[in-house]
Amino acid sequence: MQNKLSIGMNRRDFLRTAGAVTVAATVSQPSAGAAAEAAAKQPPATTAASAPRIRTLSEQEVADLMLGSSIQATRNSDTASMIKRAKGLMAQGRHFRIVEHGQVPDGWNVICAAGAVGGGGAWEHVPQRIRKQNLPAISVEEGTLRAMDVLGRHLGVRWDAVISNEASHGRIGAFVTAATRGLPVVDGCLALRCKPEVQIQIPTVMGVGNKPTAIVSRWGDQIIFDRPAEDHRIEDVARAIAVASGGVCSIARTPLTGREVKLGTIPGALTQAIAFGRAVREAGERGQDPIAALIGVSGGMLLFQGTVRKAEMSGLRGHSYWDVEIAGEGAFSGHLYKVWVKNENLIAWLDGRVDAMPPDLICNLNPKTGDAITGAGLGGYRTGESVAMVGIPAHPMWRLPKGIEIFGPRHFDYDLDYVPIEELRKRRPPALGGGT
């Protein structure tokens, strides 16, 4: 049974509509013009004494998961390296296990220990000096494990599961941490997609964020951020440490109880990624259009297709910014698509008119494979490459007022009110899919 969910609904009404626990996971994102239909009642809260359902993914499911996570990323990604890393772990006898979102016991302690915070525009003099000092460096993965341990000791807890903060390398990062420690990964996510700032997460939207954080630099410095004034301060401090540490630092953050996981994270993110990856892979195996297959399973839409003619990058305040122009091909011949990137694709314009905006997903994909483009640098595009731009409606939790406040276009200093991608599509010329 599904309930009507208004885009303007507040958090309290959302919880009451959703059964006061969470939002049901569906493979395709729900449409949400005047209303988003995606809140279904969940099973009763799982107690600490209950045995949660945990299953081990097959090698094919893991490969599909990595592919689907790259698609969810809303930026360039490197699926091949993610699959290679996953297969390497499995060859060592590690297992990729997931626990159902709604089955996480209330008393469990769940940690987001999924990789790194980047720092575009990093201070180059720091690594130059440290090379002269011959300080030993550690990997991002080792740093993440250390951050997880430091935070656990600080809080006096043992971790029962890991949850991913975002898609793409945040997803494989969560599994590397979990598989190394023999823990399951929750079939959920703090954001489902990738996003450019730490505080842009559903726990912040639902009021269960703003938690102690541990950060480890590439040279092993350990920093505990015990009492952040608010979630954005975690972003400020972590990004600053990354900039001062050669462009990256490992992080463990947003510790949650099982009850908070069910209240304040997006369910079914891993299941959705597997479905996306499987649909694209199977379409390729059958010689069919992988983009059409993805649109069919995701409830998304083809926004544009063409060749990148401009991709200009700048690094500022720890982020990678890109201004991108794509010249149309085929049905889009004679039209121009522009994309503004802050690590991820955030706002797009079709012939000068706004066509998509956050928190909706703007995915830049290889039209032949359906995989995310590899691009050049974080969030980057390569001039001359062909790209299919696919839009997918954001999860309804992102469309709550608090979600729009922290991840809508005004958060990025654009004088635009959020309009769902489905509504923007109706404003297109009929020849480009508008009016329906």
Q: CATH code at 228?
A: 3.40.1610.10
Question: Is the pLDDT score of 206 beyond 60?
Answer: yes
Higher pLDDT: 118 or 78? It is: 78
Highest mean pLDDT among 29-43, 233-247, 267-281: 267-281
List the alpha helices (DSSP H) in 45-190. 59-72, 79-91, 125-133, 140-155, 169-181
Residue-level pLDDT at 19: 37
Omega within 30 of 0 (cis) for the link into 359: yes
What range defines the domain where residue 342 resides?
292-432
* Runs of H (alpha helix) within 156-268: 169-181, 202-205, 231-243, 258-264
Q: Are residues 240 and 349 in the same domain?
A: no
Q: Are residues 191 and 309 in the same domain?
A: no
The average pLDDT across 94-108 equals 97
386 contacts: CB under 8 Å, gap ≥ 6: 305, 306, 307, 308, 329, 366, 367, 368
Number of domains in the chain: 3
Q: Bridge-partner residues for 392, per DSSP? A: 361
Band the pLDDT of 50: cuts 50, 70, 90. low
Q: Share the mean pLDDT of the chain.
A: 89
Same domain flag for 108 and 247: yes
Same domain assignment for residues 244 and 382: no
| pLDDT tens for each residue of 163-182 | 999 999 999 999 999 999 99
**pLDDT at site 315:** 72
Q: Whole-model pTM?
A: 0.88
Instruction: Give dist(CA 321, CA 30) in Å, integer.
Output: 30
Binning pLDDT at 50, 70 and 90, where does residue 378 land?
Answer: confident
Question: Which pair of tokens denotes residue 93?
Answer: 């006898």
Cα distance between the two ends of the chain: 27
Answer whether residue 206 is part of any domain: yes
The three-class DSSP label of residue 2 is: strand
DSSP state of 43: P
One-letter amino acid identity for 153?
A: R
- Token pair, residue 76, equals 């360039």
| Spatial separation of the C-alpha atoms in residues 242 and 425, rounded to whole Å | 38
Evaluate whether residue 275 is within a structural domain. Answer: no
Q: Which residues contact 404 (CB under 8 A, 6 or more apart)?
A: 359, 398, 418
